[in-house]
Amino acid sequence: MELTAVTDLPEVRPGDDLAELVTDRAVLEPGDVLTVASTVVSKAEGRTADLEEFPVSGRAKELAERIGAAAGEQKDPRFAQAVLEESTELLIECPFMLTETRFGHICVNAGIDRSNVPEHDLLLLPRKPAESAERIRAGLADRGHEDVAVIVTDTCGRPFRHGQRGVALGWAGMSASRDWRGEPDRDGRELGVTVQSVVDELASAANLVTGEGAGGTPAVVVSDWEFGELEGSDELFRDVEDDLVRQALRNWRFDP
């Protein structure tokens, strides 16, 4: 497998065609996977915002005060309001806000970014990353690059471990996972629980190439990689009924 960063991309602005920007700078072959950071997808879709656009509710003021007290510093209630408006559920209120986004992703602060956003305060996640991936994939096909899968990526933390890693928010042209259940191991024992999250693994691998901070390389082409013959699934985000961690968090409260 080979991963190649798409270099020399300009600062992405609202209305920019990401498929065009990539095809002008990258070699794409059938079967390749294009990973695109959610930051540039959001910028192209005009998902920037300023704090003054979020009038503060009593709930946001309370959250900012609690989080600020826990951290020993003042927190902006307008940011808390933005997080609330971008979320469907608040799983942890303090010492940070762990939320469910409107498309089912669990992350801190609804994935709102405050870095690399020239001329604005905030960068919100794409509204529907799966649809964003479909549009980019269709744009590639319109330019003669058919059979190229697309993954919209982001980085987030993990329970029980330090640090962040790449994850998939939306994808098109491939399944999210490979289901190994029913397959034998080397001793002939049947696997019973293993479902491999392929889109997350590719997103994480791409993040090694794109890096963080000021790298300016938000797109990666994954070449010479095959999904294999195993059955695939598009299930990635757990339902509430199937998520024991989320159920436990609903009964937990942090008091600074």
Q: What is the pLDDT of residue 244?
A: 87
Residues that constitute the known binding site? 9-12, 38-39, 43, 113, 116, 154-155, 210-217
The dihedral sign for the CA sequence 228, 234, 199, 13: positive
**Domains in the chain, CATH or no CATH each:** 1-45+129-255 (3.30.1330.100), 48-125 (3.90.1660.10)
CA distances from 79 to 60, 116, 122, 137 (A): 8, 17, 9, 33
Q: What is the pLDDT of residue 256?
A: 66
Q: What is the pLDDT of residue 230?
A: 81
Which helix (H) or strand (E) segment holds residue 189: the answer is none
The two counts, helices (H) then strands (E), for the chain are: 7, 13
Q: What is the pLDDT of residue 167?
A: 97
Closest to 210 measured CA to CA, from 202, 196, 220, 197 = 220
For residues 125 and 156, what is the distance between their CA atoms, to the nearest angstrom? 12
Residues that constitute the known binding site for a divalent metal cation? 113, 154-155, 212
Angle at 210 between CA 82 and CA 111, to 5 degrees: 15
Residues that constitute the known binding site for GTP? 9-12, 38-39, 43, 116, 210-217
Q: What is the pLDDT of residue 18?
A: 98
Q: What is the pLDDT of residue 245?
A: 86
Q: Which portions of the chain are predicted below pLDDT 50?
A: none
Q: Which two tokens stand for residue 86?
A: 């971008």
Which residues, other chains included, contact 168 with Cβ-Cβ below 8 Å and sequence gap of 6+? 151, 152, 153, 176, 197, 199, 200, 202, 203, 236
The percent of residues above 70 in pLDDT, for the chain, comes to 99
Closest to 204 measured CA to CA, from 251, 159, 157, 242 = 157
Q: What is the pLDDT of residue 133?
A: 98
Q: What is the pLDDT of residue 226?
A: 85
Q: Where are the alpha helices (DSSP H) in the chain?
A: 18-23, 38-44, 58-71, 77-85, 129-142, 198-210, 244-249
End-to-end CA distance of the chain: 48
Q: Is 29 exposed, middle or buried (0-12, 13-18, 19+ CB in 10 A)?
A: exposed
pTM: 0.94
Q: What is the pLDDT of residue 218?
A: 95
Which helix (H) or strand (E) segment holds residue 96: the answer is none
Q: At what angle do helices 58-71 and 77-85 cross, to 10 degrees?
A: 120
